[in-house]
Amino acid sequence: MGNCLADCRCTTHKAITSEPVCGAIHIPITIGGRWSTPLRPVVLPPQREKFPPVALPTPNCEGDTLASPNLKPFTYHELKNATKNFRNLIGEGGFGCVYKGWINLQTLGAAKPGAGTVVAVKKLKPEGFQGHKEWLSEVKYLGQLHHPNLVRLIGYCLDGDKRLLVYEYMPKGSLENHLFRRGAEPLSWAVRMKVAIGAARGLSFLHDSKQQVIYRDFKASNILLDLEYNAKLSDFGLAKAGPTGDLTHVTTQVLGTHGYAAPEYIATGRLSVRCDVYSFGVVLLELLSGRRAVDKTKVGVEQNLVDWAKPYLGDRRKLFRIMDITLEGQYPKKGAFMAATLAWECLGDAKHRPSMAEVLACLEKIPVPKEGVNRISNFDRLQPMSIPSPRSPPRRHHHHHRSPSSTDRTPRATSPFATQVKSPLSKSPHED
């Protein structure tokens, strides 16, 4: 992959942030210590997807990136008309706002609602947190990578200090809204597993491309859902080319979202695909528990989802303590334990984490209802799990910060990667 982004320097960076909500305060973290020499290469398994490996062309400058034949250039006036003067707001974040619009893909002009193609238009704030480098990175990757589990980038607009991106419209919004928004309809077990599988396919595709791509910002708010709850990864502003040759990682500035970033990446700046696997484990925990990765409204260890949930992941008898109460016990015991065990593996020591191809293979074996994503099967109804009240662990236990004991560890006989010896998970990072 080319070094176009390295040649287009920008002083605006996306640092480790607090919980990804509208108006979040972005707090940069300074990483101390020395950079270590590269480790021996890690051999990834062969690609499992039906889609052939992708080798990205090497653009020499910004103009080559924007000249992608897969993208349509829009004028600011065209997008202003398409969004009715940016009135139909559907999302907002540190980067700016997202608006719903309608365009005619043949003429690139505005269309009447219901008559043209529905699109989502991201308009970056000139003073926003996402700068030109991140904007160009998104154009670069989504303009050349195509997969059913990656959101489609239709075009862009670069007009002075105005930077906009035009995407396919995802009517179900983000996974974050479905899990955490007050009043949202609870997702069934089948839908949660479908979302996890779709997201895993997207990450596996990126990792197994000829020029490996590290997503670096995998989180619930970046997983968008279509009408059938198919998951698609969005926001490639922090994506980075993976290591080449004999290298196993790239050393870079620490960027991402607090609670999702891998602890070894925060500590050393070493970035690899295993960092994405850790982030996937966090999101899988969110799907199981219905809790945010970081929740400052909780007390003590419960503020950090990984620290709170980890002692229960390898214990069938205690797993119910972390399960989302909105599921009302309607999920198979075996499937829940398989998913919890897989999350535990993803959150383990970096050297022993599974690849995304292995994660995907395990997810596809987890039992789900056969009657569709919007219904609960009789199999589920016959195996409800009791719901604790309250859901929080008993206060008499004060050992959640210690390394897992033999009872905390996932039994080798039930682990999807039983041949691997696992190390205890390091404590998840906290804000300075």
Residues annotated within a binding site for ATP: 123
Q: Which residues pair with 26 in a beta bridge?
A: 17
Give every CB contact of residue 16 below 8 A, 6+ residues apart in sequence: 27, 28, 29, 254, 255, 256, 257, 258, 261, 266, 429, 431
Task: Judge residue 181's burial from the number of C-beta atoms within 10 Å of its C-beta, 0-12 exposed, 13-18 middle, 19 or more buried.
Answer: exposed
Distance of CA 343 to the CA centre of its chain: 14
- Residue 78's Cβ-side half-sphere holds a number of Cα atoms within 13 Å equal to 20
CA distance 121 to 124: 10
E strand or H helix at 177, and its extent? Answer: helix 175-180
**Could you report how far apart the first and last alpha carbons of the chain are, in Å?**
34
Distance CA 226, CA 322 (A): 28
Are 250 and 35 contacting, i.e. CB atoms less than 8 angstroms apart? no
Angstrom CA distances, 168 to 77, 173, 196, stand at 19, 12, 21
Amino acid at site 142: L
Query: Half-sphere exposure of 120 toward its Cβ, with a 13 Å CA cutoff?
Result: 23
Give the tokens for residue 67: 């000249």
Other beta carbons within 10 angstroms of residue 64's beta carbon come to 14
Report how far residue 149's alpha carbon sits from residue 129's, in angstroms, rounded to the nearest whole number.
26
Selecting among 217, 324, 380, 408, the annotated active-site residue is: 217
Is 217 part of the annotated catalytic residue set? yes
What are the Cα distances from residue 108, in Å, to 38, 71, 98, 161, 165? 48, 12, 19, 21, 14
**Mind telling me the catalytic residues?**
217
